[in-house]
């Protein structure tokens, strides 16, 4: 288990050094480990990913996104981006291969508690009722 506070301050230090106009944000993605938003100037790191990845993998993901921020959106994963990623200490590769267990953030049930279902995002409840008990659906934060 890694320390999320340490990762966050480490990422913020790297961002300050290499692309100071960007901010750091945690994300909840499980399929996307890191993201670089050029328009919002945000570098995101997936919290569920950070919890299961090794420090090397996390370092590689953070530098991957910082390299995007430094060279700009036009470069994608081309040689300019690869060179920057390696310069930052990354491996210059496009994807990391850590599989992240799907996070359960919301639990949905009905008034009669006939069943439960897990969701990552808040499910839409408007107008939905349970087919079995005709009760309202209820979502709770897991």
Neighbours of 26 (CB within 10 A): 15
Other beta carbons within 10 Å of 112: 12
Question: Where does this chain touch Zn ion (CB under 5 A) — which range of 15-23, 53-61, 99-107, 113-121?
Answer: 113-121
Q: Is 133 in the site for Zn ion (CB under 5 A)?
A: yes
Does residue number 129 form part of the binding site for Zn ion (CB under 5 A)? no
Choices 38-46, 52-60, 96-104, 106-114 (CB under 5 A): range interacting with Zn ion: 106-114
Here the tokens at position 50 are 């950070």
Q: Which stretch binds Zn ion (CB under 5 A): 22-30, 37-45, 54-62, 123-131?
A: 123-131
- Of 5 and 77, CB closest to Zn ion: 77
Interface with Zn ion in residues 38-67 (CB under 5 A): none
Shortest Cβ 17–Zn ion spacing (Å)? 19
Tokens 């309202």, residue located? 136
What residues make contact with Zn ion under the rule CB under 5 A? 110, 112, 114, 130, 132-133, 135
């Amino acid at each position: 288990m890694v320390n999320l506070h340490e990762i966050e301050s480490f990422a913020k230090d790297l961002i300050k050094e290499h692309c100071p106009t960007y901010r750091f944000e945690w994300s909840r993605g499980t399929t996307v480990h890191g993201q670089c938003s050029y328009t919002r100037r945000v570098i995101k790191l997936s919290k569920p990913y950070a919890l299961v990845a090794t420090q090397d993998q996390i370092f590689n993901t953070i530098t991957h996104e910082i390299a995007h921020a430094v060279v700009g959106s036009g470069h994608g994963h081309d040689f300019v981006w690869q060179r920057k990623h390696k310069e930052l200490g990354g491996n210059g590769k496009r994807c990391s291969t850590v599989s992240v267990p799907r996070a359960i953030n919301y639990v949905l049930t009905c008034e009669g508690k006939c069943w439960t279902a897990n969701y990552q995002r808040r499910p839409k409840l408007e107008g939905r009722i349970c087919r079995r008990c005709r009760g309202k659906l209820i979502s709770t934060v897991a």
